[in-house]
C-alpha cells in the first residue's frame, strides 16, 4: 500500500468507528423507546420492534445497487458524504418523535442513506491490491467493530442518564462528523490491468455474477447470514430483561450487544489474513459452520453472563465473514464494476436485515426466545453447507488463490 492509501484507510477507520458507534448506541433500546409511547402489550412491542428495526433496510435494499452504480461512474467519496449527512439528520429527528408511526417513518427514510460502511469497503477495496485485500478490509472492519463495541455501552449509559430522546439527538452529530472526515480522503483506483473495460452496463454486471456460480452463492448467502444475525437484534434487550431484570436494563442490553463486537474486534483482521493465505471460500465455510454451532447454547442460557459469553463466541466467527466475503468479491469482480457488484451484495444483506428482525419478533412472540436462537444457528449452518456444496459442484470457479 502507498502512503495515500494508508492515509485513506486511517481516516475511513475513524469514519466507520463513528458511524458504527452512533448506529449501535440506539439499537439496544428501540423496543424500550417504543414502550414510552403508550401502554402496549409485550406482543405489540415485540412485533413493532421487529418491523421498526427492519423497515430501514427495505429502502436500503432498493437503493444500494443504485448507489453502487453511481459510485462506479462518478466516485464513491460523494456517496459517502451524502450517506453520512442523510443518516445524521434522520437520527436527529428520531429524538423528537411521539409515536411508533413517526419512528417507523423516519427509520424508513433513513434507509435511503444507509450503507456507509458497505460503500466504504468498496472505496478502500478498489485502492487495495488483491493479495492483501483480506487483511486490509479486516483492518477497516475493526473500526466499525470498535464503534459497535463501544456504542451500545455508551448508548445504554446515556439512555439511563438522559433518556432515549436525548441519546438519539446526540448520536446524530457523531454520524455527521463521519461525513466530514470523508472530505479529507483522496479518491483514486489502483492501476487496472491493461485491456480491461472502464465501464460496464448493469446487464453486463448481472451476467458476470450469474456466470460465476460460486460468487452468486456467496452473495445469496449474505441474505441468510443477515437473517440469522439480525433475527435476535431487536428483541435482545427484551431477552436481557427476562434474564437480568429491569435494573439498568439499557446498560446491560448494551453489554450483550457489545459482547459480539468484542469477539469481532479480536479476530476480524486475523480472519482476513488467514483468508489471504489459505483461500477466502475455505475460511468462509469454516466460519459459517462454527458460528452456527456456537450460537445454539444462546437459547438455553439461564443468566445474563452466559448470554454474553455466547454472543462473544458468535462475534469471534461472524467477525471474519464480512472482510473475507468482500475480499472474495474484490477478487472475482473487475474494478470497474466492483461498486455495483458490492451494491447488489449489500442489497441482499439488507434483504436479510428486513426479514431477520421481523421474523425474530414474530417467532419470539409465539414460540419464545429459544426458538429464535435455534433458527439462527440452523440458518448459519445451512449457509455453510450450501457454500460447501457449491464449491464441490464448481471446483474450477471456487479456486480463490490470488492471481
CATH number of the domain at 107, please: 1.20.1250.20
- For residues 251 and 166, give the distance between their C-alpha atoms in angstroms, rounded to a whole number: 16
Is 274 contained in some domain? yes
- For residues 94 and 100, give the distance between their C-alpha atoms in angstroms, rounded to a whole number: 11
Closest alpha carbon to 284 in 215, 387, 381: 387
For the four alpha carbons of 128, 131, 133 and 139, in that order, the dihedral sign comes to negative
pLDDT band with cut points at 50, 70 and 90 for residue 18: confident
Q: Is 232 exposed, middle or buried (0-12, 13-18, 19+ CB in 10 A)?
A: buried
Is 208 contained in some domain? yes
Q: What is the DSSP string of 229-276?
A: HHSSGGGHHHHHHHHH-STTHHHHHHHHHHHHHHHHHHHHHHHHHHHH
Is 192 contained in some domain? no
**Number of domains into which the chain is organized:** 1
- Tell me: the pLDDT tens digits for 295-353? 899 889 888 889 999 989 888 888 788 788 878 887 888 777 877 888 888 888 888 87
> Is the overall model pTM greater than 0.75, yes or no?
no
Is 399 contained in some domain? no
Q: Cβ neighbours of residue 44 under 8 Å, at least 6 residues apart?
A: none
- Tell me: the pLDDT tens digits for 362-401? 888 888 888 988 988 999 999 999 999 988 887 765 555 4
Please give the radius of gyration of the chain, using alpha carbons only, rounded to the nearest integer: 20
Closest alpha carbon to 382 in 292, 310, 314: 292
Torsion (CA) 127, 120, 380, 315 in degrees, nearest 10: 100
Is 235 contained in some domain? yes
Give, as one character, the DSSP assignment of residue 96. Answer: T
Closest alpha carbon to 219 in 13, 386, 2, 70: 386
Using a pLDDT cut of 90, give the percent of the chain over it. Answer: 13
Is 155 contained in some domain? yes
Is 47 contained in some domain? yes
Q: Is residue 334 classed as helix, strand or coil in its secondary structure?
A: coil
- Tell me: the pLDDT tens digits for 257-291? 778 878 877 887 888 888 888 888 999 999 999 99
Residue 339 domain boundaries: 3-186+204-393
Report the residue count for the chain: 403
Give, as one character, the DSSP assignment of residue 18. Answer: H
Is 350 contained in some domain? yes
Q: Cβ neighbours of residue 153 under 8 Å, at least 6 residues apart?
A: 251, 254, 255, 258
Q: Quote the pLDDT of residue 332.
A: 83
- Tell me: the pLDDT tens digits for 150-208? 777 777 778 778 887 788 888 888 889 889 999 999 888 775 555 556 677 878 888 98
- For residues 132 and 323, give the distance between their C-alpha atoms in angstroms, rounded to a whole number: 11
Q: Quote the pLDDT of residue 184.
A: 92
- For residues 11 and 15, give the distance between their C-alpha atoms in angstroms, rounded to a whole number: 6
Q: Cβ neighbours of residue 59 under 8 Å, at least 6 residues apart?
A: 108, 109, 110, 111, 112, 114
pLDDT band with cut points at 50, 70 and 90 for residue 31: confident
Closest alpha carbon to 250 in 163, 312, 145, 370: 163
The HSE-up count of residue 317 (CA atoms within 13 Å, CB side) is: 22
Q: Quote the pLDDT of residue 191.
A: 59
Amino acid at each position: 500500500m502507498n502512503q495515500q492509501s494508508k492515509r485513506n484507510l486511517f481516516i475511513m477507520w475513524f469514519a466507520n468507528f463513528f458511524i458504527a458507534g452512533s448506529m449501535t448506541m440506539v439499537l439496544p433500546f428501540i423496543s424500550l423507546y417504543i414502550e414510552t409511547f403508550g401502554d402496549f402489550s409485550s406482543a405489540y412491542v415485540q412485533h413493532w420492534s421487529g418491523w421498526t428495526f427492519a423497515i430501514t433496510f427495505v429502502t436500503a435494499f432498493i437503493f444500494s445497487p443504485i448507489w453502487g452504480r453511481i459510485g462506479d461512474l462518478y466516485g464513491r467519496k460523494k456517496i459517502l458524504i451524502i450517506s453520512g449527512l442523510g443518516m445524521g439528520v434522520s437520527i436527529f429527528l428520531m429524538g423528537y418523535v411521539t409515536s411508533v408511526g413517526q419512528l417507523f417513518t423516519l427509520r424508513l427514510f433513513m434507509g435511503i442513506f444507509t450503507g456507509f460502511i458497505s460503500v466504504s469497503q468498496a472505496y478502500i477495496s478498489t485502492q487495495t491490491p488483491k493479495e492483501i485485500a483480506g487483511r486490509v478490509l479486516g483492518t477497516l472492519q475493526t473500526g466499525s467493530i470498535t464503534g459497535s463495541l463501544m456504542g451500545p455501552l455508551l448508548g445504554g449509559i446515556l439512555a439511563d442518564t438522559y433518556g432515549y430522546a436525548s441519546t438519539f439527538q446526540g448520536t446524530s452529530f457523531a454520524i455527521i462528523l463521519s461525513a466530514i472526515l470523508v472530505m479529507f480522503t483522496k479518491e483514486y483506483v489502483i492501476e487496472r490491468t491493461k485491456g480491461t473495460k472502464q465501464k460496464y452496463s448493469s446487464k453486463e454486471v448481472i451476467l458476470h455474477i450469474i456466470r460465476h456460480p460460486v460468487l452468486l452463492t456467496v452473495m445469496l448467502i449474505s441474505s441468510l447470514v443477515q437473517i440469522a444475525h439480525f433475527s435476535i437484534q431487536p428483541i435482545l434487550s427484551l431477552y436481557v430483561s427476562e434474564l437480568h431484570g429491569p435494573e439498568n436494563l439499557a446498560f446491560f442490553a448494551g453489554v450483550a450487544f457489545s459482547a459480539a463486537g468484542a469477539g469481532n474486534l479480536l479476530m476480524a483482521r486475523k480472519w482476513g489474513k488467514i483468508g489471504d493465505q489459505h483461500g477466502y471460500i475455505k475460511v468462509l465455510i469454516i466460519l459459517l459452520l462454527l458460528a452456527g454451532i456456537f450460537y445454539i447454547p444462546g437459547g438455553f442460557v439461564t443468566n445474563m453472563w452466559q448470554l454474553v459469553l455466547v454472543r462473544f463466541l458468535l462475534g469471534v466467527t461472524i467477525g471474519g465473514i464480512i472482510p473475507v466475503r468482500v475480499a472474495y468479491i474484490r477478487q472475482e469482480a473487475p474494478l470497474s464494476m466492483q461498486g455495483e457488484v458490492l451494491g447488489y451484495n449489500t442489497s441482499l444483506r439488507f434483504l436479510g436485515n428486513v426479514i431477520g428482525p421481523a421474523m425474530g419478533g414474530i417467532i419470539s412472540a409465539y414460540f419464545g426466545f429459544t426458538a429464535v436462537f435455534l433458527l439462527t444457528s440452523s440458518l448459519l449452518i445451512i449457509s455453510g453447507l450450501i457454500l460447501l456444496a457449491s464449491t464441490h459442484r464448481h471446483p474450477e470457479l471456487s479456486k480463490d488463490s490470488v492471481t
